[in-house]
Structure 1
Amino acid sequence: MTAVTGAKVLERFPAGSPRGSWPAEECAARHRAEGEPATVVMDLESDAFLVVVPSPEDD
């Protein structure tokens, strides 16, 4: 798992997927259901949707 702009990346999904951001949104929803404050962001450099949570330093 990688840190990106103060956030911990949990999962990566290619932006070119036929379903677009849906897989990332579904993954983030599962993490939120488990109590993690997961959100989806777009990484333009890698052309991917990232599921991220704030890093512990941000708390």
Structure 2
Amino acid sequence: MSEREILDSFPAGHPRGSWPAEERAAALREQGESATVVMDLDTDSFLIISEGAAV
């Protein structure tokens, strides 16, 4: 099982949609972070998550 950490979040109602989250995730990946964008329906947000090492 892997541990997930929320690195950042952006509101889904942003005028540019998921682009701000995708851009932030790309910047984190350039820094060596394993960053992925997912949609959290409960909070209506795009979350940037990092999947850590097995626990």
TM-score (norm 1): 0.83
In 1, Cα distance between the equivalents of 2:25 and 2:40?
15
- 1:12: which partner in 2? 9
Output the aligned Cα RMSD. 1.2
Structure number with the bigger relative contact order (C-alpha 8 A, sep ≥ 6) is 2
- 1:28: which partner in 2? 25
In 1, Cα distance between the equivalents of 2:20 and 2:26?
10
The one-letter code sitting in structure 2 at the alignment partner of 1:27 is R
- The structural deviation recorded for 1:57 is 3.2
Larger mean Cα displacement after TM superposition, 48-57 or 14-23: 48-57
Structure 2 unmatched runs, 5+? none
Residue deviations 1:2-59, cap 9 Å, x none? xxxx41000000000000000000000000000011010000000000011013335x
Structure with more strand by fraction: 2
- 1:46: which partner in 2? 43
TM-score (norm 2): 0.88
In 2, Cα distance between the equivalents of 1:35 and 1:55?
12
How many pairs were matched up? 53
